[in-house]
């Protein structure tokens, strides 16, 4: 078992996973604790929990009734975007982002400079969000329950793809009150490793 820890300037999110090989990530450093074999690595993953950590002033704590928790942080969704290309030392290249829910995934990735199209980045090579070309595919490793249901366009374009693949242009992530973590594999057709989810969410299976 391993632990994948993610830090941002606004919050602390942690969850447990059975990553193989084991890695520990932060916004500034990526530490490899297991040597990646020469063959294409398989990364195992199981769902985890988000835990908010904070402090409450003594007076405010006294006024809080037992069992009642204060959360001054506004609702937000954390993203972990995993590049399709490994770092020189063989560890995953992870980019962290945080935003308010209700965002279109394609627009958000483009606005925050997260690679989405790869070799199809030129305007004439993609439909610019119309859902007809299928070039903005991503793989949802964690957080499927936060995403909108697949559209008819998605179902048609992805009918021969794994069930946890989505079209970013057709995907909305949560709503303004959503909280949670979404782990996204960029350019899944070009990735240098494999994810092995333990189980699929009920929303994924029904989509």
Task: Supply the DSSP string of 8-19, one letter for each residue.
Answer: -SS-EEEEEE--
- The pair of structure tokens assigned to 134 is 């299928």
- Please tell me the pTM assigned to this model: 0.65
Please give the pLDDT value at position 65: 53
Cα→Cα distances 36→39, 40, 43, 100, 150, Å: 8, 9, 10, 35, 35
Q: Which CATH number fits domain 2-206: 3.40.50.2300, 2.60.40.1220, 3.40.50.10800, 3.10.20.30?
A: 3.10.20.30
Please give the pLDDT value at position 43: 53
- The pair of structure tokens assigned to 157 is 């374009």
Cα→Cα distances 185→62, 85, 95, 123, 176, Å: 44, 10, 11, 22, 23
Residue 146 is classified by DSSP as G
Task: Return per-residue pLDDT of the chain as tens, 207 residues.
Answer: 333 333 333 333 343 343 333 333 333 333 333 333 444 555 554 444 433 334 445 544 455 455 545 468 899 999 999 999 999 998 899 999 999 999 999 999 999 999 999 888 776 788 989 999 999 999 999 999 999 999 999 999 999 999 999 999 999 999 999 999 999 999 999 998 887 655 444 444 554
User: Which H/E stretch holds residue 140?
Assistant: strand 137-142
pLDDT tens for residues 119-136?
A: 887 767 889 899 999 999
Q: How many CB atoms lie within 10 A of CB 39?
A: 6
**Distance separating alpha carbons of residues 108 and 138, to the nearest angstrom:** 13
- The pair of structure tokens assigned to 53 is 């950590």
């Amino acid at each position: 078992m391993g632990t994948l820890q993610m830090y941002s300037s606004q919050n602390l999110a942690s969850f447990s996973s059975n990553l193989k090989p084991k890695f520990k990530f932060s916004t500034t450093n990526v530490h490899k604790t297991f040597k990646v074999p020469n063959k294409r690595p398989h990364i195992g993953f199981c769902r985890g929990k988000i835990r908010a950590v904070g402090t409450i002033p003594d007076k405010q704590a006294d006024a809080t009734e037992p069992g009642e928790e204060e959360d001054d942080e506004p609702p937000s969704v954390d993203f972990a975007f995993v590049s399709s290309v490994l770092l020189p030392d063989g560890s995953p290249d992870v980019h962290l982002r945080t935003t308010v829910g209700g965002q279109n995934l394609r627009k958000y990735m483009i606005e925050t400079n997260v690679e989405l199209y790869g070799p199809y980045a030129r305007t004439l090579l993609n439909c610019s969000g119309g859902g007809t070309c299928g070039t903005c595919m991503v793989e949802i490793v964690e957080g499927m329950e936060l995403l909108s249901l697949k559209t008819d366009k998605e179902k048609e374009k992805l009918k021969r793809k794994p069930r946890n693949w989505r079209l970013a242009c057709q995907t909305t992530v949560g709503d303004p009150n959503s909280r949670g973590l979404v782990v996204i594999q960029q350019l899944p057709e070009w990735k240098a490793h494999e994810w092995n989810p333990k189980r699929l969410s009920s929303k994924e299976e029904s989509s």
